C-alpha cells in the first residue's frame, strides 16, 4: 500500500470510529506502520472525525519525527507495542465508553479483563490486560506495556481506555470494536448470571484459531 493510500485509510477508519461514537472530542489516537518501517500517527489535540491525511505526523524507521503536525502525547504507548510485538502494523487507542466503564468495575480480573461471552473476543483479542491508572501522556504507560514482554495484543488503561495492536490497521480496528462490544455485553449482563463460554469451549476456540492465550 502506498503512503498516500495508507494516510487515506487511517483517516477513513478514524472517522468511522468517531462517527459511531467510539471516541469523542479530540480523544483517541491511531498509528500505522509504513512500508519503509516508519510510522504515520494522528496528531495531538486532533479529532478522529476530522483528520487531514496530509497533516498526519510522520516518523522514520528510527523513530525520528519527519513531518506533519505534532504527534499524540500517547506515543509511549504506541512505541511500546511496536517494540515488544514486532509484527505489529497498527495501534489503536480509544476512550470508548463501555470499555472504560468496565475497567472501573470492582471485581474484574486484571489479567483477563473480559469475561468469555463470545468466541469472537477470544479470537480477535486473546486475554486483555487491565493496566493501572496513569496520567495521560505519562511515559510509564509505555513501560507498563513493555513489562508485558509482548504477551498481550490488547490492554485497557484503568479509567482511561483500551489500546489494541494488530498486524494491520483493519485488524486493529476490528479488534478494538470487538473489545468495546464485549465490554458492552458484560455491562448489560452484570449481575444476571449469564451462560458464558466454558473453559473447554474457550480452549477449542484458542486451538482452532491459534490464539495467543498464556
The terminus-to-terminus CA distance of the chain in angstroms comes to: 33
Which residue out of 12, 83, 120, 174 is catalytically annotated? 120
E-state strands within the chain = 29-33, 39-41, 57-59, 65-67, 90-93, 129-131, 154-157, 161-166
Place of cell 495508507: 6
Q: Rounded distance, CA 155 to CA 77, Å?
A: 10
% helix / strand / coil in the chain, to the nearest 5? 40, 15, 45
Which helix (DSSP H) or strand (DSSP E) does residue 180 occupy?
helix 169-189
From the candidates 74, 177, 178, 180, which is the catalytic residue? 74
Side-by-side strand order, sheet with 65-67: 65-67, 57-59, 39-41, 29-33, 90-93, 161-166, 154-157, 129-131
Asked if 120 is an active-site residue, the reply is yes
Active site residue 181: no
Q: State the catalytic residues.
A: 74, 120
Amino acid at each position: 500500500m502506498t503512503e498516500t493510500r495508507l494516510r487515506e485509510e487511517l483517516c477513513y477508519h478514524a472517522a468511522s470510529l468517531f462517527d459511531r461514537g467510539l471516541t469523542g472530542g479530540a480523544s483517541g489516537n491511531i498509528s500505522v506502520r509504513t512500508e519503509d518501517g516508519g510510522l504515520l500517527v494522528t496528531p495531538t489535540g486532533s479529532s478522529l472525525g476530522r483528520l487531514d491525511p496530509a497533516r498526519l505526523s510522520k516518523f522514520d524507521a528510527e523513530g525520528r519525527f519527519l513531518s506533519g503536525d505534532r504527534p499524540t502525547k500517547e506515543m509511549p504507548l504506541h512505541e511500546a507495542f511496536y517494540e515488544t510485538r514486532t509484527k505489529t502494523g497498527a495501534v489503536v487507542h480509544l476512550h470508548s465508553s463501555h470499555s472504560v466503564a468496565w475497567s472501573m468495575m470492582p471485581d474484574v480480573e486484571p489479567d483477563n479483563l473480559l469475561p468469555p461471552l463470545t468466541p469472537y473476543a477470544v479470537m480477535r483479542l486473546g486475554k486483555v490486560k487491565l493496566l493501572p491508572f496513569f496520567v495521560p501522556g505519562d511515559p510509564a504507560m509505555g513501560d507498563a506495556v513493555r513489562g508485558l514482554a509482548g504477551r498481550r495484543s490488547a490492554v485497557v488503561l484503568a479509567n482511561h481506555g483500551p489500546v489494541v495492536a494488530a498486524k494491520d490497521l483493519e485488524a486493529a480496528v476490528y479488534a478494538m470494536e470487538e473489545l468495546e462490544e464485549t465490554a458492552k455485553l458484560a455491562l448489560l449482563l452484570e449481575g444476571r448470571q449469564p451462560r458464558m463460554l466454558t473453559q473447554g469451549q474457550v480452549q477449542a476456540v484458542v486451538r482452532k484459531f491459534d490464539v495467543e492465550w498464556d
